[in-house]
Amino acid sequence: MPHVHVPRGVREHLEDVLARTSLATARAEDPLALPTLLPLGLDRCRIVPLVHDAPRNGAQYQNARRRGGFPTRRRSSGQPHAACQAAHSRLEPRICYEGAPHPGMEKGSMSYPRAWIEEIARYEGQDVELRGWLEARRSSGKLHFLQVRDGTGTIQCVMFKGDVPEEIFEEADHLPLESSIKIRGTVRADARAPIGYELAVKEMEVVSRALPDYPIGRKEHGVAFLMDHRHLWLRSNRQRVIMAVRHTIVKAIRDFFDERGFRLVDAPIFTPAACEGTTTLFEVPYFDLGHAYLTQSGQLYGEAAAMAYGKIYTFGPTFRAEKSKTRRHLTEFWMVEPEVAFMELDEDMDLAEDFLVHIVERVLDKHRRDLERILERDVSKLEAVKKPFPRITYDDAIRILHEMGNETPWGEDFGGDEETLLASRFDRPVIVHRFPAQTKAFYFKRDPNDERLALGMDVLAPEGYGEIIGGGQREDDLDTLIRRLEEHDLPREPFEWYLDLRRWGSVPHAGFGLGLERTVAWICGLHHVRETIPFPRMMERITP
């Protein structure tokens, strides 16, 4: 077998879905890769069509097939599966793994197997039961188009007057939107259907009739209204995709570190004092000990863990009581923070770079179609996220800003405007390093070549999404660190344990923090981070 390239991500994706379900459907970016997937145990693959795809890969597909590269499942009749034939003629191929029954394929009502819309292609020509919610209805007298959503997707169900009992047809005409239903019929491919498949309805059963006034309509809504109805807004197609991308990013983050041997260490949420001192903390009563604070960073604990286990990451919620009312801020957000012993600033930047490239690749691999079609994201902007990222010093950045007419004086930190300006000079994330020490927290190590500078680095996302990563090398000398605490006017007592890390086997070490919500907003191309988390917590919003 000739050497063929396995597209990055396909293998991981298949393994991922196979771990989750035993019936997997995955896209193959490059049909030539299929033969190499066989050793993975995918020897029972078949090709199914994606009807709504443009036939742009048809020629490539045909070519691969002539070379005998495609495993094709045949029915017991010996005839190629109808879906395979369709794929052969004009459509982009999909890999479909046939294994043990899907956990969701438990027997549906009345002997119809239950199907999920996400995998509806699998059931073409078969009778199935869908369980979901009535999302929209278009009616044409003796013909209803019922748009049904089951959480994995939306499908058009076609109900002809003669095909169902009269009272069911009447019921379908008046059933309020968002009523929950079980609907049974035959899955068939049809170019007129929005997703290429539709259900020819034979039976419908109402599980719960909704009130007639579902608040979220088919037309536009204001942000405030939608936020008030966040619990219902999550049902929309757009929010479904955003939450799916968030999930993929979380998984990509975990996989990235797990595959590199990092230990996951959970930092506490209740902390005795400020980690960085300057920012505002949420204070909560704590028994006889007075007050505790909600963590604003797991980093100090991450450093302790790195001294114990070498390379670690923390991943959890973080709280900031800053009165920030901007599109980039939440009071509760998720942050992942790797920390590595014996690592210095340059390697820290290498790690951040590999990390972001990995995340973007995984999202593109899994969600390219949804990003383009539902979120209207320009994915070419994401495809540009390749190594190496430009690395500029703070001094360079100031020089560039001055060239562009921004007069930020040396020594000041960058605001949103400066970040956007800088990022606009590059087509991929840009790393800014070696900041003036006074702009950074007490624990940053100084640049041995210039005491005014801290060995910190920020990664600025393109397109004005701002700082998504902040990190750097930590001060590892005991006496210097004690001096820094004094300079920052911080109490020493709560930091004694932290100082211990420098008393017994101190080593150079570095790490960074990545804001999950900002990353999701950037990758999805969202205007505001509040859409990236199911129930955002903001300065003036704590419900729903």
Partner RNA sequence: UCCGCGGUAGCUCAGUCGGUAGAGCAGGUGGCUGUUAACCACCGGGUCCGAGGUUCGAGUCCUCGCCGCGGAGCCA
Instruction: Quote the CA–CA distance of 521 and 529 in Å, as a whole number.
Output: 6
Which region among 72-80, 93-101, 247-255, 514-522 touches RNA (by CB under 7 A)?
514-522
279 binds RNA (CB under 7 A): yes
Q: Binding string, 108-147, against RNA, x = CB under 7 A?
A: ----------------------------x-xxxxxx-x-x
Out of 92, 127, 198, 339, the only residue in the binding site for RNA (CB under 7 A) is 198
Q: How many CA atoms lie within 13 A of 384 on its CB side?
A: 14
328 binds RNA (CB under 7 A): yes
Which region among 27-35, 51-59, 237-245, 331-339 touches RNA (by CB under 7 A)?
331-339
Out of 19, 68, 111, 192, the only residue in the binding site for RNA (CB under 7 A) is 192
Q: Binding string, 394-433, against RNA, x = CB under 7 A?
A: -------------------x-xxx-x--------------
Q: Which of residues 214-243 bind RNA (CB under 7 A)?
A: 214-215, 217-225, 227
542 binds RNA (CB under 7 A): no
* Closer by beta carbon to RNA, 66 or else 219: 219
Count of residues making up the chain: 544
State the number of binding residues for RNA (CB under 7 A): 75
Joined together, the tokens standing for residue 159 give: 């109900």
The burial of 272, by beta-carbon neighbours within 10 Å (0-12 exposed, 13-18 middle, 19 or more buried), is given as middle
Phi, psi values for residue 515, rounded to 5°: -80, 115
Q: Tell me if the bond preceding 534 is cis, omega within 30° of 0.
A: no
Out of 513, 520, 522, 523, the only residue in the binding site for RNA (CB under 7 A) is 513
**Shortest gap between Cβ of 525 and RNA (angstroms)?**
15
Q: Which residues contact 24 (CB under 8 A, 6 or more apart)?
A: 14, 17, 18, 95, 96, 97, 99
Q: Assign 170 to helix, strand or coil.
A: helix
* Closer by beta carbon to RNA, 214 or else 498: 214
Q: Name the DSSP class of 444.
A: B
In terms of Cα–Cα distance, which of 341, 309, 452, 325 is closest to 394? 452
Out of 50, 87, 242, 514, the only residue in the binding site for RNA (CB under 7 A) is 514
Instruction: Quote the CA–CA distance of 70 and 35 in Å, as a whole number.
Output: 7
* Closer by beta carbon to RNA, 60 or else 420: 420
Q: Please give the biggest Cα pair distance in the chain.
A: 86
Q: Which of residues 72-101 bind RNA (CB under 7 A)?
A: none
Which region among 91-99, 185-193, 266-274, 349-357 touches RNA (by CB under 7 A)?
185-193
* Closer by beta carbon to RNA, 110 or else 143: 143
Q: Which of residues 467-486 bind RNA (CB under 7 A)?
A: 467-470
Out of 42, 159, 518, 523, the only residue in the binding site for RNA (CB under 7 A) is 518
Measure Cα distances from 43 to 50, 88, 122 in Å.
21, 19, 17
Outline where 374-490 has alpha helix (H).
380-383, 394-403, 416-423, 478-487
Q: Are 18 and 24 in contact (CB under 8 A)?
A: yes
Q: Which of residues 342-361 bind RNA (CB under 7 A)?
A: none
Q: Which of residues 436-465 bind RNA (CB under 7 A)?
A: 439
Out of 106, 166, 167, 213, the only residue in the binding site for RNA (CB under 7 A) is 213
